[in-house]
């Protein structure tokens, strides 16, 4: 009698191990692991091929960006026509005087625009440009003659006008040199967020 009862217990344990409930738990775990793996692979692809981490060097974009901050740039928004280069964008480009170097500046003038600076105030197409991103203490008081931008050329300035080497000195940037848009600060953590 005890043996039969023991046999019944063993049989019921074996049956439970192969029950639909245990098979569905294993299947759910495998699906979850698969989804996690796909998510990790997609995140790596996005970071490596769509967004590039870069380190800011220098003070020319203060206070928007400071020296040694880490940011992500979107490398494909302009390349594949996913977005136009707009006035106010912070762009990363190969420096026209030495394409081995990369600069980050803010777009002020678009192709066909005329740009002039009078006592540190920027005028685009004859109208004063409102620049809330340039605090008064970062403005210089210099004047620069009017420049008319040829097709596919952009006028770029650093936000820290008295500490920036930009289009006022070396001219416009050809479209072919612009390879990314600064979009996100990820370090230091207290400054993490989208760039404007």
Active-site pick, 64, 105, 167, 181:
105
User: Active site includes 60?
Assistant: yes
DSSP readout, 39-69?
HHHHHHHIIIIIEEEEE--SSTTTTTS-TT-
Query: Are 92 and 104 within 8 A, CB to CB?
Result: yes
79: closest CA among 173, 175, 149? 175
Residue 105 appears among annotated catalytic residues: yes
For residue 123, whether the previous peptide bond is cis, meaning omega lies within 30 degrees of 0, is: no
CA distance 126 to 112: 13
Q: Closest Cα partner for 106 from 84, 86, 76?
A: 86
Residues 6+ apart with CB under 8 A from 147: 109, 114, 115, 116, 155, 167, 171, 172
Cβ contacts of 156 within 8 Å, gap of 6 or more: 91, 93, 103, 105, 106, 107, 108, 166, 167, 172, 173
Residues with catalytic roles: 60, 105
């Amino acid at each position: 009698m005890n043996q039969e009862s023991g046999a019944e217990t063993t049989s019921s344990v074996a049956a439970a191990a192969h029950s639909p409930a245990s098979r569905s738990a294993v299947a759910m775990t495998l699906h979850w692991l698969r989804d996690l793996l796909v998510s990790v692979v997609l995140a790596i692809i996005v970071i490596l091929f769509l967004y590039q981490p870069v380190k800011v060097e220098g003070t020319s974009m203060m206070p928007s960006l400071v020296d040694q901050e880490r940011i992500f740039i979107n490398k494909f928004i302009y390349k594949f026509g996913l977005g136009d280069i707009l006035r106010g964008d912070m762009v990363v480009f190969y420096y026209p005087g030495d394409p081995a170097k990369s600069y980050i500046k803010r777009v002020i003038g678009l192709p066909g625009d005329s740009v002039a600076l009078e006592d540190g105030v920027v005028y685009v197409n004859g109208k004063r440009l409102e620049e809330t991103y340039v605090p008064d203490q970062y403005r210089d008081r210099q004047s620069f003659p009017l420049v008319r931008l040829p097709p596919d050329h952009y006028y770029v300035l650093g936000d820290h006008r008295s500490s920036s080497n930009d289009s006022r000195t070396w001219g416009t940037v050809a479209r072919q040199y612009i390879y990314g848009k600064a979009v996100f600060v990820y370090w230091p953590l207290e400054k993490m967020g989208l760039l404007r």
